[in-house]
A and B are shown apart, each in its own frame.
Chain A
Amino acid sequence: MKLSHIALRNIMRNRRRSILSGSAIAVATMSIVLLFGMMEGMLDDMARNEQRYETGMVHILNAEFDKYARLNPVHLYIKNAEETVKAFESYPWVTAVSERINFAGRIYQDNREYNVFGKGVDFSREKDFEKLDEVLVAGRLPDPGSREAVIGVKLAAELGIDLTDSEPDKITILTMKSNRTSKHFTVEVVGLLAYPVSSLNSVTLLMPLATAQDFLLMKDGLSEILLMVDEEQYNANRAAALLRDELGSRYPDLKIESWLETNLIFSMMNMAANIYNVFALFFFVLGSSVIINTTIMVIYERMQEIGTLGAMGMRGKELTRLFFLEAFFISLIGALIGTLIGIVIILAIGKSGIPLGSMMEDLEGFSMSNYLYLGLSIKNTVVVFIYSVAIASLSTFIPSRRASKIEPVEALRAI
């Protein structure tokens, strides 16, 4: 008869109380699994949005651009684009490429001004890169080389564009050519995009790459090249470093960065996520308070038994272990159940997401979706589980140690 067997059977002695203790731990663990799931989901979602819409996993642009970004240095673009793209594309682990021309523009309509963020893109590639099928909610994508565009749904609503009527919806955009002189042109809106990131919907305009190159005097030029890489082989940072090593000297005018290097906010958020460990700690201690109390009560109630076992020759540390094991098993079961429930909830609703309504609209600069997704990270979940069990056990260790301090003779005298 091992101590662990006795401990397990002792759990069943006051089943209700054990269930209560376990439940407290389960609830705490589940909450933290969900909290971490939320964090994971949010970071995943933001990472996906950042990568698809902003920077790719690896971001390539004119090395000088960022330095003068404030001045809208449209002339600092990637020349010899075709050849450059080929060079980057030649790596088999580069899974998707986006070629973009970016321009800030303005639409003047009925005495109002609307800012747009325009992108000239090769739709045949961009379709995969941005998963445009998922966001195109009306109409179609522009034909290559045409003077057509797709725009964000909110921008369309503000401009009063309705694709369902028969007349063509044309918009004229004032912007700047790559020689830094002004330019405006008219395009027909043929489709609407509903991005998950609501701030994009009020500014985005996509038009065919060749047309943008022509209008903005960027023959064979691109503002940026975005790459997706096979993460099984290289993570974004490794991929960017490798490309810098191998192509950096051939393209000294280009800056090659991973999206994490580009996006310091995201890196910071990743770090800030550590604050959740403190929340977790707090929650676990709270969840453990019930089992601490239970352990104290159990020791008090089983005084005679402690005396008997002591008389039989069990030493203090063995008695401590007996009570500790009991609390440990409750914690283990509670944490396991909490973790499982958390996982089930994440799997059930995490993918479809919880709508956040318009809450996110004001968060400019955060590429967070309007849906709160919950992400399941095996690593996080295992960590939460272990963390929960560890804290519950550690906190019950203190009352368990009381068992070793009790003199058998006094324990036996207790009724």
Chain B
Amino acid sequence: MKKIITLLLFTGLLASAGAITGSEIIEKSDELQSFDTQKSSGSMISHDRFGDITSSFISWSRGDREFLLEFTNAEEAGQKVLRVNDTMYLYDPDAEETIRLSGSALKDTLFGDISYEDVSEGNDTLDTYNAELVGEELKKGKQCYKVELTAKKRNAPYYRQLLWIDKSTFVLVFGEYYSKRDVLLKNIEVLGVKEVGDKFVLSHLILRDLIKGDSHTEMKLDDIELNPVLEDRLFTEEALF
């Protein structure tokens, strides 16, 4: 209750302050979704013309730059994905070494429509993109800010993003991701948000790879634990083995 009030107050404040900028919206949205550490478990379901694939996982993250995911379903059991800064490590129990991905390899498919970079994108949006508020719209039944992000750095995952952010909660409702040639590559739809403490976690979302065509991938988080105590060792390559 208190939280909602705070939020309302906050929004009100902003509103009274007059024009909010795109950067401010993104900053706030990132802020609401960033935690020191997080541990969650969930599942990914890919739907395409060939059928459904379901995987379950546990993931850990610390700050924006460290992320670990371990598959728990039988088919992928033991396979792990670790991101430390800009490098991704894949671990497989049948391999004697990790596979280190960086650069364009991060665009390869991890699961369904989800690329490696999709699962690990940090909440450091403004480092990579310039944000601009381009309007306000009703999207998926919610009043939203429509914010356009344009890549600052050449190695940004997408050249341009259009994000619809709930005016009242500053949580992402819908996003579109464009290539340099302005081709719509992917979109993301947020179906569920879990409130944990004073933060919001996107707990149910659907990703569509529009290049692949008739497919989408769902991601659900079941248990979310914020700010657990995590060992430093957890986010090292050695710890994968």
Contact = CB atoms under 8 A, between A and B. Distances in A.
Interface of A: 68, 73, 75-76, 108, 113, 147, 170, 172, 174, 177, 179-186, 215, 217
Given A170-B96, A185-B92, A186-B94, A180 B105 contact: no
Contacts of A75: 50
A349 to B, nearest CB: 48
By CB atoms of chain A within 10 A, which of B53, B94, B110 has the most?
Answer: B94
Contact of A183 (B50, B92, B108): B92
Given A108-B101, A181-B75, A182-B110, A73 B50 contact: yes
A108 B95 contact: no
Nearest to A107: B99
Q: Across the A-B interface, give the 9 residue pairs with the lowest CB-CB distance, nearest first.
A: A185-B94, A186-B96, A186-B95, A184-B92, A184-B95, A172-B95, A185-B95, A172-B97, A174-B99
B96 A184 contact: no
B46 to A, nearest CB: 8
B105 A113 contact: yes
Nearest to A176: B109
B94 A215 contact: yes
A170 B94 CA distance: 13
25 contacts: A68-B50, A73-B50, A75-B50, A108-B100, A108-B101, A108-B105, A113-B105, A147-B94, A170-B96, A170-B97, A172-B97, A174-B90, A174-B99, A180-B50, A180-B53, A181-B53, A181-B55, A182-B108, A182-B110, A183-B79, A183-B92, A183-B94, A185-B92, A186-B96, A217-B75
A391 B108 CA distance: 62
Given A172-B99, A182-B110, A184-B92, 8 more contacts: A170-B97, A172-B96, A174-B90, A179-B75, A180-B50, A181-B55, A181-B76, A186-B95
A280 B90 CA distance: 60
Interface in B192-216: none
A170 B110 CA distance: 24
Contacts of A185: 92, 94-95
Contacts of B90: 174, 182, 184
B216 to A, nearest CB: 14
Contacts of A186: 94-97
By CB atoms of chain B within 10 A, which of A177, A181, A215 has the most?
Answer: A181
Contacts of B53: 179-181
A215 to B, nearest CB: 6
Interface string B38-58: 000000001000100101000
B47 to A, nearest CB: 12
A213 to B, nearest CB: 13
Contacts of A177: 75
Contacts of B35: none
B82 to A, nearest CB: 14
A408 B46 CA distance: 97
A333 B101 CA distance: 71
B119 to A, nearest CB: 12
A361 B196 CA distance: 60
A184 B99 contact: yes
Interface in B105-152: 105, 108-111
A170 B96 CA distance: 9
Contacts of B97: 170, 172, 186
Contacts of A215: 94
Contacts of B75: 177, 179, 181, 217
Contact of A182 (B50, B100, B109): B109
Nearest to A68: B50
Contacts of B76: 181, 183
B89 to A, nearest CB: 11
Contacts of B95: 172, 184-186
Nearest to B51: A75
A184 B50 CA distance: 23
Contacts of B46: 180
Interface string B70-90: 000001100100000000001
